[in-house]
Structures are given as structure tokens and as C-alpha cells.
Amino acid sequence: VYLTKHGESYYAMKTLRKNLVLEGQNLEYVKSERDILIQSRSNPFIVQLFYAFQNVERLFFLMEVARAGTLFNLLEYQAPKPFKQDQIVFHSGEIICGLMFLHSKHIVYRDLKPENVFIFEDGHVKLGDFGLAKENVDKNHKTKTMCGTAEYIAYEIYHRDSYDENVDWWSLGILIFELSTFKTPYYANNSTDITQNVLLNQINYPETMIKQNKQIISGLLERDPKQRLGNIILLARIPNYFPTGNFQYSLLAGYLSRVYYVKKMENVECPIALDKHLL
């Protein structure tokens, strides 16, 4: 990815060599990523694609620049000083809005991790990098491909079950745990041990973790996807996690604008109507 400039505007330019795309049989993944970005244009929680074009040797995606880096960079900068609870709620709230938009389009993300959560100058976050995302997935049309980043892969993927968008809620649970502790709950030195931890081991929650974070994480890391938080319970119902009890208000109105580096959004709504039947 390169930083490019046209006039007074800066862009992030992602380039892909055609021969490597074809040799790796990745053409369908690249086309799917382009299509997902096109579907997501103007969505405030997805990195924006401005142009997609090609020359003889390469494919190009021209996208908006996340000048503040990624959540991974923020974790490195912040550690070991704990995040304020306001920050954890704010970041997870905007990620939830991005996931809900994707799921409404029958897209499963499959690669939620700090490196793919981009932070912009106004402090808001957006999801990016859809190389592993898959279209046309829902509860009636599942998939079985084994993919993702080891520490964030859901139980049912490791278990070799068919799966749907619920795998993204599992990854969100991992991410909130990481924001709370600066480590992932199933971490090991190799992918084999990570797999065993996910399939067999229970999570060790630090004594210092506050109750509402433990509740939302345990609900998101439910091994049975049918019982997993995100599938059956409105996330806002976790007591005191979204402090007003109203997800929409908490995310976009006065409360979360108290996070010190965030510019308040004006007249923007989470793209999916949130009601008790949705999740």
C-alpha cells in the first residue's frame, strides 16, 4: 500500500500484481473485495474506495487514508497503560456498526483484528481489508472455508463446521478482550496450540477486568454460535456496557464524544435499525 497525492488530496493506493493474483488462484477474492468496497461506499464505518483500475501488470485500489493508523498501532502506543472504558466502548461500538452493515448485505468479514481496524484523524474507526470476506453468506447459506488470523478465528471454523456471520461476533469478543488486557485470550506460541486452546480451554479473566466487559466477552465467545451474543441478544442490553442503555444514543450522541480525541459525528446513524429482534 502506497501513500499517493492528487492535487491537494491524499489517497492510500493498494496494488496487486496480476501474475501473483492468478498464480495464487486469488482472482475471485480480489473481485469480491472490490465488490464489497463498492457496496460499502458512503458507509461511515467502512474504509472508502474511490477508484479501482488496472494496467498491464497490476490492479489498483485507491482508498481513503487512515492517517492515525490502526487499532494495532494504538494498542502498541497505549500499552501497558489501560484504555479508559469510554475508549473500549467507543471503538467496539463503531466496529459493531461496521459488522452489522456487512451482515445486512450477507457479507461475512472473517478477518476482524486490530490491524484491519483503521483510525482516522477525527478519531473514528472503520473496517478495511476485505481480502478474506465472503459474499452471499447468511444463516441459510453457510460456508466452510478455513481462513482468518489464528488468534481471532472462531470456534466453529476450527471445529470444521459450516458457519455464517456469527464468526465475526466471536472475533469481536477477542478484540474487546485485547482492548481490555493487551493480549488475546487463547494466545499460544504456535497455531496448533491456539487451535487446542480455542477448542478445549476456558478463558482466564484477569481479576481487574470489570464485570460488564467480562459479560460481553463471555457472550461473544460462546462456543455454540446459536447461543452467541450478537445472534440472540441486543448488545446494548449488557448492563452498563453502553451506559445509557441506548446503543444509538451512546455511540453517536454526547456520551461517547467525551473520548478525548474524537470529533462528534453529526446526523449520522448506525446503518442498521437496532431493535430487540435484530441480533
In the set 86, 111, 122, 164, the catalytic residue is: 111
**Residue ranges of the chain with per-residue pLDDT less than 50:** 249-250, 253-256, 258-260, 271-279
- 201 shares a domain with 84: yes
Nearest to 113 by CA among 73, 64, 166, 160: 73
Phi first, then psi: give them for residue 85, nearest 5 degrees.
Answer: -60, -35
Residue 268 domain-assigned (yes or no): no
pLDDT given at position 97 = 84
SS3 153: coil
pLDDT given at position 268 = 56
SS3 187: coil
Examine the residue annotation and report whether 86 is marked as an active-site residue of this protein. no
* Number of domains within the chain: 2
Parallel/antiparallel/unpaired status of strands 2-6 and 9-17: antiparallel
pLDDT given at position 85 = 86
CA angle 189, 194, 198 (to 5 degrees): 155
Asked whether the beta carbons of 238 and 169 are under 8 A apart, the reply is no
- 219 shares a domain with 119: yes
pLDDT given at position 279 = 28
pLDDT given at position 5 = 87
Residue 204 domain-assigned (yes or no): yes
User: Rounded CA gap, 60 and 11, in Å?
Assistant: 12
pLDDT given at position 16 = 93
Residue 183 domain-assigned (yes or no): yes
Count of C-beta atoms within a 10 Å radius of residue 20: 10
pLDDT given at position 278 = 29
- 121 shares a domain with 216: yes
- 113 shares a domain with 41: no
Nearest to 65 by CA among 15, 126, 156, 110: 126
Q: Which domain holds residue 46?
A: 2-63
User: Domain end: 63, 82, 107, which one?
Assistant: 63
User: Rounded CA gap, 255 and 249, in Å?
Assistant: 8
Element (H, E) at 119: strand 117-119
pLDDT given at position 143 = 97
- 205 shares a domain with 87: yes
Q: Give bridge partners of residue 3 from the DSSP assignment.
A: 12
